[in-house]
């Protein structure tokens, strides 16, 4: 992904993070709470935000026309001109009820090759951001682009590729290349961001010397967006009577490197209590004073002596202690440093220069989030975790952050610590430099590690709510592993079912994965939950239902063979679920499937025919289930009777007891 220069600042609704600072993601209910995930909502929110703040770069119109006419556009241009933002806005403009926005990650585990047609669903909006890709990755991607482009065109999807600036491009792809340049007016870029941040237009439309000086030299779009965000934060923390010039001046001062000043300030505060308060305020910046006071005491208990020997009334009050570290408590009761972005410099100083403090901060943060304080609201808790995670990620300690999230989810971890673990992993997944590491780490946990129930729930929530929106294939594989290994709960299985319910492509891929995996008992149980005949026979999106596809029928036959084998060989308790699903298929074939009903019967009969020595018993199970379905049918008895007769005829043919007739799929010419 292009991370150096973009043209937006993410809002609170986004899970994408493209640089320094904080990320806050409130996902609502706890990992322990039984709830339905919110697939695909976050990327659309993110794309809407990008569209709000984008000032059209040079050649945006040509890129829009190329994408509309061909379904594909390849964006080139110098870094800092807004290529990635333009790519996202172009895809947002093609939002449709069908399909989803996805970012392709060629070369990663679980990502299908670009030439694989299964990568694309009708109506999908695909982003292939290789702006910062190395030459080898770009060369490999070029090999798959022609096939990917053809699939995108055939399925009426849309593809935007961001290519490395100066990279080679094959002659047959030059037609789709558009060179993007920065917007003509950097001032308009700044104002558009300020408007999106809610700054009153009567403020930002006035001339300002600080803004003029900043924009005098051509700046990358990312730096302009960062300035707008600092102005927004300066406005939020401004004193009475301060207006736009003061906000801009404070934002500009915050650009200066504060590390030397912080080092000098820390040297002048030798007491442990002073430094503990300084660290606490930096990690809980904007939290209520009661939270800061309690958290400071917890930090002192974790790493140093307490003040128990000093009488309560002889101790300095919080206001005095805050003044010593250049912080104050505002009228709203919230504590902040008096200088903008001083908190991030304090965090960086203690993290970099007191490495022995790092493990204590993880333990302390877990205790803070578990504090029973009415002012410890979700935003405050998430902010603490995000700032701490930011220091891990800033210094390249992704594995240590992953380990911290796992430790927070040990046996007996409560709701607050589980939510903190979700937030920590969210920050890791959203980080451009370390997202791939966290996707791989979650795979290793899901597939191979023995997990506590608490951490299992954390991973299910992260896969469903964070990973699935932008990378659903990765979420599917990890949820499959979690579902086949879970005991005493079905949360991963339900999340997996919900994920596939919204995508023909994902349902097709899961069926193929189940069929190729040998169908152990856990996978048989999963198949019985995802084999709903309704989406398999649905043709409301396209004229071709899933069950019309030869590959899908082949997967279904393999899976049903395992189900029928289990239905005739396992104890009654294990057989009940299989027979219930058979009856559901037969009922759907009789009442709702139309001309696809006979295809459902063909799949069941072919599956039974492949059961080897158990084929006779499997046929008996099908026939018995049909009779029971007929008796219990709430619809037309005649439809059910005809379905049973047709099933019996097909069973007879499969056993060589009747004249051969072509299958429904063969007669209909479907393949």
In SS3 terms, 132-186 reads as: CCCHHHHHHHHHHHHHHHHHHHHCCCEEEEECCCCCCCCHHHHHHEEECECCCCH
Q: How far apart are CA 121 and CA 74, in angstroms?
A: 20
Sign of CA dihedral 552, 543, 593, 669: negative
What pLDDT shows up at residue 574? 64
- Grouping H, G, I as helix, E, B as strand and the rest as coil, residue 388 is helix
Sign of CA dihedral 388, 393, 398, 400: negative
What is the token pair recorded at 2? Answer: 């292009």
What pLDDT shows up at residue 237? 83
- Return the closest-CA partner of residue 107 out of 436, 427, 433: 436
What pLDDT shows up at residue 284? 97
Sign of CA dihedral 234, 240, 244, 246: negative
Let me know: does 163 contact 130? Beta carbons within 8 Å. Answer: yes
Architecture of domain 41-179: 3-Layer(aba) Sandwich (3.40)
10 Å Cβ neighbour count for 546?
22
Distances (CA, A) of 34 to 37, 265, 360, 494, 654: 10, 48, 32, 10, 45
**177-179 and 158-162: which strand pairing?**
unpaired
Q: How far apart are CA 311 and CA 456, in angstroms?
A: 46
User: Taking each helix axis from N to C terminus, what angle separates 342-353 and 378-394, rounded to the nearest 10 degrees?
Assistant: 50
What is the token pair recorded at 505? Answer: 């492509």
Q: Where are the domains of the chain?
A: 41-179, 186-253, 259-356, 503-668
Beta pairing partners, 327:
337
Length of the chain as a residue count:
671
Q: How far apart are CA 383 and CA 25, in angstroms?
A: 9
What is the token pair recorded at 485? Answer: 């290994």
User: Taking each helix axis from N to C terminus, what angle separates 398-408 and 358-369, rounded to the nearest 10 degrees?
Assistant: 40
Enter the pTM of the model.
0.86
Q: How far apart are CA 507 and CA 516, in angstroms?
A: 14
What pLDDT shows up at residue 276? 94
What pLDDT shows up at residue 540? 76
Q: How far apart are CA 233 and CA 228, in angstroms?
A: 9
- Return the closest-CA partner of residue 367 out of 413, 321, 304, 307: 413
What is the token pair recorded at 30? Answer: 């706890």
Which regions of 39-135 does DSSP assign to beta strands (E)?
72-76, 101-103, 125-129
What pLDDT shows up at residue 16? 40
Residues of the chain below pLDDT 50: 1-42, 669-671
Distances (CA, A) of 626 to 468, 587, 636, 645, 662: 38, 8, 14, 9, 21
Q: How far apart are CA 671 and CA 666, in angstroms?
A: 8
What pLDDT shows up at residue 663? 57
Distances (CA, A) of 339 to 255, 256, 347: 11, 12, 14
Q: How many CA atoms lie within 13 A of 131 on its CB side?
A: 26
Q: How buried is residue 207: exposed, middle or buried, by Cβ count under 10 Å (0-12/13-18/19+)?
A: exposed
Q: How far apart are CA 12 and CA 651, in angstroms?
A: 59
10 Å Cβ neighbour count for 217?
7
Q: How buried is residue 205: exposed, middle or buried, by Cβ count under 10 Å (0-12/13-18/19+)?
A: exposed
- Return the closest-CA partner of residue 84 out of 178, 142, 161: 161
Beta pairing partners, 127:
103, 160
The string of DSSP codes covering 324-378 is: HTTEEE-TTSBEEESSTTHHHHHHHHHHHH-GGGHHHHHHHHHHHHT---TT--H
Let me know: does 375 contact 287? Beta carbons within 8 Å. Answer: yes
Q: How far apart are CA 559 and CA 360, in angstroms?
A: 50
- Please tell me what DSSP assigns to residue 463: I
């Amino acid at each position: 992904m292009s991370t150096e220069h973009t043209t937006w600042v993410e809002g609170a609704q986004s899970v994408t993070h493209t640089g320094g600072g904080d990320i806050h993601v409130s996902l609502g209910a706890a990992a322990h709470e039984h709830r339905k995930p919110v697939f695909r909502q976050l990327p659309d929110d993110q794309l809407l935000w990008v569209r709000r703040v984008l000032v059209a770069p040079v050649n945006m119109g040509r890129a829009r026309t190329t994408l509309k006419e061909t379904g594909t556009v390849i964006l080139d241009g110098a870094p800092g001109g807004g290529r990635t933002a333009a790519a996202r806005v172009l895809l947002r403009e093609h939002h449709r009820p069908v399909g989803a926005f996805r970012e392709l990650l060629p070369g990663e585990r679980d990502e299908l090759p670009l030439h694989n047609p299964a990568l694309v669903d009708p109506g999908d909006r695909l982003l292939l951001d290789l702006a910062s890709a190395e030459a080898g990755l770009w060369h490999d991607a070029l090999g798959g682009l022609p096939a990917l482009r053809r699939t995108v065109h055939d399925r009426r999807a849309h593809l935007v590729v961001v290519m490395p600036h100066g990279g080679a491009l094959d002659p047959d792809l030059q037609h789709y290349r558009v060179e993007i340049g920065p917007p003509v007016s950097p001032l308009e870029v700044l104002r558009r961001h300020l408007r999106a941040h809610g700054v009153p237009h009567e403020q930002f439309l006035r001339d300002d010397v600080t803004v003029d000086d900043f924009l005098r030299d051509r700046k990358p779009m990312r730096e302009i967006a960062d300035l707008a965000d600092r102005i927004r934060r300066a406005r939020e923390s401004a004193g009475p009577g301060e207006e736009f010039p003061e906000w801009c001046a404070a934002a500009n001062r915050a650009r200066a490197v504060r590390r030397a000043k912080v080092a000098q300030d820390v040297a002048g505060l030798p007491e442990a209590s002073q430094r503990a308060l300084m660290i606490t305020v930096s990690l809980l910046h904007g939290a209520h004073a009661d939270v800061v006071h309690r958290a400071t005491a917890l930090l002192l208990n974790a790493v140093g002596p307490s003040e128990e020997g000093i009488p309560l009334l002889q101790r300095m009050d919080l206001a005095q202690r805050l003044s010593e570290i250049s912080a104050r408590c505002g009228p709203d009761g919230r504590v902040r440093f008096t200088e903008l972005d001083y908190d991030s410099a304090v965090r960086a100083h203690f993290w970099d220069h007191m490495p022995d403090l790092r493990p204590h901060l993880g333990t302390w943060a877990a205790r803070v989030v578990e504090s029973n304080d009415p002012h410890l609201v979700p935003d405050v808790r998430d902010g603490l975790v995000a700032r701490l995670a930011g220091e891990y990620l800033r210094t390249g300690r992704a594995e240590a952050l992953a380990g911290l999230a796992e430790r927070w989810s040990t046996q007996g971890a409560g709701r607050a610590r589980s939510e903190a673990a979700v937030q920590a992993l969210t920050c890791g997944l959203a980080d451009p430099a370390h997202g791939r590491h966290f996707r791989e780490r979650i795979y290793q946990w899901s597939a191979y590690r023995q997990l506590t129930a608490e951490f299992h729930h954390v991973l299910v929530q992260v896969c469903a709510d964070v990973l699935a929106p932008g990378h659903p294939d990765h979420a599917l594989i990890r949820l499959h592993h979690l579902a086949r290994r879970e005991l005493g709960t079905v949360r991963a299985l339900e999340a997996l079912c919900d994920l596939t319910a919204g995508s023909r492509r994902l349902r097709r891929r899961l069926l193929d994965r189940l069929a190729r995996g040998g169908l152990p008992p856990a996978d048989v149980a999963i198949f019985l939950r995802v084999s709903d005949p309704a989406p398999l026979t649905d043709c409301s999106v396209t004229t071709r239902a899933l069950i019309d596809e030869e590959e899908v029928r082949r997967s279904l036959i393999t899976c049903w063979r395992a189900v029928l084998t289990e239905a005739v060989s396992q104890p009654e308790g294990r057989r009940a679920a299989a027979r219930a699903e058979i009856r559901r298929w037969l009922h759907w074939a009789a009442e709702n499937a139309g001309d696809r009903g006979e295809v459902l019967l063909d799949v069941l009969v072919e599956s039974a025919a492949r059961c080897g020595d158990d084929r006779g018993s499997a046929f008996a199970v099908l026939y018995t289930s049909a009779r029971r379905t007929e008796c219990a049918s709430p619809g037309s008895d005649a439809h059910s009777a005809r379905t049973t007769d047709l099933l019996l005829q097909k069973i007879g043919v499969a056993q060589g007891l009747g004249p051969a007739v072509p299958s429904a799929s063969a007669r209909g010419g479907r393949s």
